[in-house]
A and B are shown apart, each in its own frame.
Chain A
Amino acid sequence: EPEVTQTPSHQVTQMGQEVILRCVPISNHLYFYWYRQILGQKVEFLVSFYNNEISEKSEIFDDQFSVERPDGSNFTLKIRSTKLEDSAMYFCASTTREGADEQFFGPGTRLTVL
């Protein structure tokens, strides 16, 4: 069964460093998302991406964040200068259509900022 994959599973970085989190969505899906979950808190929407551009973003998704689909399979989230409060699980998700279908989530990347 097709699934969303994410790498790495765990990333440790120093404050101020840039990190890139990678996702491979399900191959026939068209809409891609990033969410984050700070330990013990809710899952929060960050950004949605369609047709090679951001379709929506939340207040959390400021200038420190960017997303890209560099080729036909990968979808990346870049954090330019990490802060301690960026420590969280980051989940990638994808759907076939804009809103009618289930979102399928990847296993997540645990980001730890020291």
Chain B
Amino acid sequence: DQQVKQNSPSLSVQEGRISILNCDYTNSMFDYFLWYKKYPAEGPTFLISISSIKDKNEDGRFTVFLNKSAKHLSLHIVPSQPGDSAVYFCAASDSGGSNYKLTFGKGTLLTVNP
């Protein structure tokens, strides 16, 4: 049973527009959420995170929003750039903020078209 779900396997957007990647979770014990980006033939790299005590965290072009009541989070990329084309994984932890055990979604392939 998938505790972290990314229901969109792929997303295509135009350069300069907003990319919105979504993630749902079922485990109410999750209290820390992360997004990782993965290029082909490379390992995932950390992008941005959010604690359950917040509902928004921003880092440059990347913003993560958390809606605890809906058990939903989203990653916004504005403006999108071709170099953002990658697979994005949502991950969650119930380890009290120490993300040493993560549950990942299956990923969403983002394609940003020039």
Do chains A and B interact in one complex? Answer: no
